[in-house]
Structure 1
């Protein structure tokens, strides 16, 4: 039943910790390799570095919602939204 998921390469879900500056503060983020790869793809499409993209996204969420409760979760959902949008546009 779960063959597709159970056979995933462990390197794709290896957690990688990176530090970046957001709003002047250094923040450490622990995300799966595949999430970092997708963030790189998104940032490249926007002609930004990953740090610039994350910082811009963080600022825009702050402006719209007043706070960012869980940045790591926001970034994972951003990647899922990106993939879903690309899947729909290819159909």
Structure 2
């Protein structure tokens, strides 16, 4: 299992800092190359630059009342959720369908249901978990 991760291109986890302006204020964001590539993919889907995407996410987060004290973590989670939603076949990777055109409410409802179901699968009594591993 570990070879799948250890053997990956180490350039993916090199951090890079990007400077941008949000509402006229200069700021910088430092995240790993892997996340920059995913943000670029997300931005491309909605015909934006990465700077435009980040600015939009920032303001929409504020409008939604989110604590953006660790905005960089929020961006990483956005990337992870994007890939998770693709893995769950909510939309196709490489599609030109803008994320803004998707039925977000329906997708969020299904995601919540899947998360709940997955959590239930992981909450098995220890004896039951051992038995299922031994029988595999």
Question: What range is the shorter-chain TM-score in?
Answer: over 0.9
Matches within 5 A, 1:7-86: 7-86=7-86
**What is the CA deviation profile of residues 13-68 of structure 1, one whole-angstrom value per residue up to 9, with x for unaligned ones?**
11111101112211111110010000000000011110000000000000112541
Select the structure that is richer in strand: 1
What TM-score do you get using the length of structure 2 for normalisation? 0.63
Could you tell me which runs of 5 or more consecutive residues in structure 1 were left unpaired when the two chains were aligned. Answer: none
- Relative to structure 1, is the Cα distance of residues 21 and 4 closer, same or farther in structure 2, using a 3 angstrom cutoff? same
What TM-score do you get using the length of structure 1 for normalisation? 0.92
SS at structure 1 position matched to 2:64: helix
Spell out structure 1 runs of 4+ moving beyond 4 A.
none
Distance 2:67 2:17 in 1: 23
**Pair 1:6 & 2:21 matched:** no
Question: Which of the two has higher C-alpha Rg?
Answer: 2
Equivalence for 2:111: none
Please tell me the root mean square deviation across aligned C-alpha atoms, in Å.
1.2
Q: More relative contact order in 1 or in 2 (CA 8 Å, sep 6+)?
A: 1
